[in-house]
Amino acid sequence: MTTDGDAGGPALVFTIAMNGYRWAWRSCLRSHRRYAARLGFDRACVDLPWTVTPAEAAWLKLRLLARALEDRRYAWLLFLDADAEVRPGCPDFRAVAVPGRDVYMAHGHSGRLNSGVIAVRRSDASRAFLRRILADCDGPVAPEDAAPYENGHVIKHGKADPVVGLLDRRWNNTVEPALGDHVRHFTGPMRAHGRVDRATAARWRRAAAVRERLAAVWTPPPPDGPLRERLDRLADAVAARYAVFG
């Protein structure tokens, strides 16, 4: 196995905040920016294009991780969900490195891998791991691995793969409000402790009401083409807008 980064090397921190998430989770995104600036990492907040389904937006993180690894510009990548807050004093994520493990995730509130925080060290094994998941994006997931969007496939492929290292919950805290955490992820039991902007929340409620009325009289056409092809097109669109993926 070829590993291209140890506990150092150039790093990219990025998130995906499409379809209004950039405004809803502004405080979390500011924490990403402060963290990257403090440790000298490159950073990207992908909020365009807008016209994507929730499944495409969720799966896009894996396609962009794979693209950044293929580019070989960065030895390390850190993906953070838009509703994940990097806490003050969060250490350098590259310090999680252990021999033989190149993809790092923590267990979420379900006790299974949660893809809201993913640290990746560039290596042959990490590239192959992401390729396997993406190749299976339209494949079935067993009931014990089922989770929304891409997370079920991450659990399916990651739970027994030796390339995956398990992070301490402090790196993706979805459960314990009193925990001295590094990253606080406002999903599951922690959702009630999030700080969605009130004006944004009100706009979302109004938009949801409009969508419900529209759905009663019109059904949108299904997305064009298989998910894997759509992800490739989206990744190309993102690369045209964000130089770190170009």
Average of per-residue pLDDT values in the chain: 92
For residue 2, being part of any structural domain is answered with no
Is 30 a member of any domain? Answer: yes
Q: Does a structural domain hold residue 235?
A: yes
Domain extent at residue 109: 11-245
pTM tops 0.85, yes or no: yes
- Residue-wise pLDDT for 8-37, tens only, equals 799 999 999 998 888 889 999 999 999 999
Task: Give me the CATH number covering residue 116.
Answer: 3.90.550.10
Residue that has been written with the tokens 């009630």 in this structure: 192
Which is nearest to 167 in space by CA: 240, 239, 102? Answer: 102
* Amino acid identity for residue 126 in this structure: S
**172 domain-assigned:** yes
Long-range (24+ apart) CB contacts under 8 A made by 87-90 are 87/31, 87/181, 87/182, 87/183, 87/184, 90/35, 90/182, 90/183
Crossing angle for the helix pair 227-241 and 54-71, to the nearest 10 degrees: 60
Digit-coded pLDDT (tens) for 213-228: 877 887 767 788 899 9
Cβ(214)–Cβ(36) below 8 Å: no
Judge whether 232 lies within some domain. yes
| Tally of domains in the chain | 1
